[in-house]
A and B are shown apart, each in its own frame.
Chain A
Amino acid sequence: DVQLVESGGILIQPGGSLRLSCAASGFTISSIYMSWVRQAPGKGLEWVSLVYSSGSTYYADSVRGRFTISRDNSKNTLHLQMNSLRAEDTAVYYCARGSSSWPPVYFDYWGQGTLVTVSS
């Protein structure tokens, strides 16, 4: 069975850095697209970042230059390095699996999410 388990969310001060992790099982993350999607409290879903099976990466304008998506293939784990955090980055961060290794892709499996709170 496909499973995605996020971790790393905490309360952190503005300007701080944080790394989120998503441990995957039931499939190999390097063979498929993987993404991060976030949801601010009481708000809708916002796509954040995606990594292709080839390793190419994409970012939302709101996080480009501050966030970095990466994979640890040996541990089958996806990461999101978050720097220069702002209050508006406060959200539940979901790891989501892409539906295939070729576009177009939707997100067929989601983790339970990890809460990041940016506040002084």
Chain B
Amino acid sequence: EVVMTQSPATLSVSPGESATLSCRASQSVGSNLAWYQQKPGQAPRLLIYGASTRATGIPARFSGSGSGTEFTLTISSLQSEDFAVYYCQQYNNWPPWTFGQGTKVEIK
């Protein structure tokens, strides 16, 4: 099973600043890495797939990078609606499809 580890657990950022979230896989997952955003009481929403491709309707301030075992989600110029929990997920080695434990982006 591929273990996904996200850091930090919580990120405090002021609106307008940028945020950098990290995700590490216990073995290579190539570029088969997705990022999801989840707001309180809501379902997860797909942001990024293929490590760097934005899903339909996702603003350009969200960008993903990385391959193999190290991945990054960058949110530039954070808006109020971006404060949420973010999960990475690998879909290269399955089953199981595995998620990171999440990074909470909160208002500083």
Contact = CB atoms under 8 A, between A and B. Distances in A.
A107 interface: yes
**Size bracket, chain B contacts:** 20 to 34
Interface residues of A, number: 24
B49 interface: yes
B42 to A, nearest CB: 8
B100 to A, nearest CB: 7
Interface in A63-120: 94, 99, 103-113
Main secondary structure, interface of B, reads loop
B43 A59 contact: no
A108 to B, nearest CB: 5
Main secondary structure, interface of A, reads strand
A47 B95 contact: yes
B44 A47 contact: no
Contacts of B38: 45
A50 B91 CA distance: 12
A110 B95 contact: no
A44 interface: yes
A41 to B, nearest CB: 12
A108 B32 CA distance: 14
Contact of A59 (B91, B95, B99): B95
Interface in B54-108: 55, 87, 89, 91-92, 94-102
Interface of A: 35, 37, 44-47, 50, 58-61, 94, 99, 103-113
